[in-house]
Amino acid sequence: MGNLRQLIEAFIFAANSPLSLDRLSVLVEQPKAMIRPIVIQLQQQYVAADRGFYLAEVAGGYQFRTVVEFAPWLRKLNKDRAAKFSRAALETLAIIAYRQPATRAEIEYLRGVDSGGVMKTLLDKNLLRILGKKDVPGRPLMYGTSRHFLELFGLRDLNDLPTLKEFTALDPELAEADPLDPESVE
């Protein structure tokens, strides 16, 4: 079969999205228990080599990522603009990320404004997904974040989202704010 470490490295390098251990296991026809230590070893080797990229665990899988210090330079490579979000889109994403599953009515209650257009845009950009229908009268759709959301923000899973305590460490003014009162954060 050749060198398993090199094969795993090649699959991760060639993939368009993060590869999970399950998927790698199928691709290389080896058990996850054999693959996991190899991936961890690869991660350590890339960090120790002090390269311009590293092997990150994101969105339930593994993907090569460039180091953040080079972001301004790497933007020159792509003529596309970096992903920019309106304040409404970020508010909506944050509410859904922290409260999922959430209905449109719950999101609009917290934001205080109609959020249908923003939610449609986020769905179109594959940052949200429909999780089902809530078991209440009217059976409204429930929304959650997608795997693409995790990839875009470099998160392994939702547990990697910053806590309110971490936010308040960045901005002491937020410590006194009521998270349910939009007026208290402005």
Q: What is the pLDDT of residues 126-143, one digit of tens each?
A: 999 999 999 888 899 999
Q: Which long-range contacts (CB under 8 A, 24 or more apart) does 133-139 make?
A: 134/101, 134/103
pLDDT at 182: 44
Q: Does the fold of domain 87-185 match that of domain 4-74?
A: yes
Helix (H) or strand (E) holding 145: strand 141-145
Q: How many CB atoms lie within 10 A of CB 39?
A: 21
Res 183: pLDDT: 47
Instruction: Express as a percent the part of the chain with pLDDT over 90.
Output: 39
Pick the CATH number of 87-185 from 3.40.50.300, 1.10.357.10, 1.10.10.10, 3.40.30.10: 1.10.10.10
Structure confidence at residue 80 (pLDDT): 56
76-80, 83-87, 119-123 — most confident range: 119-123
pTM: 0.58
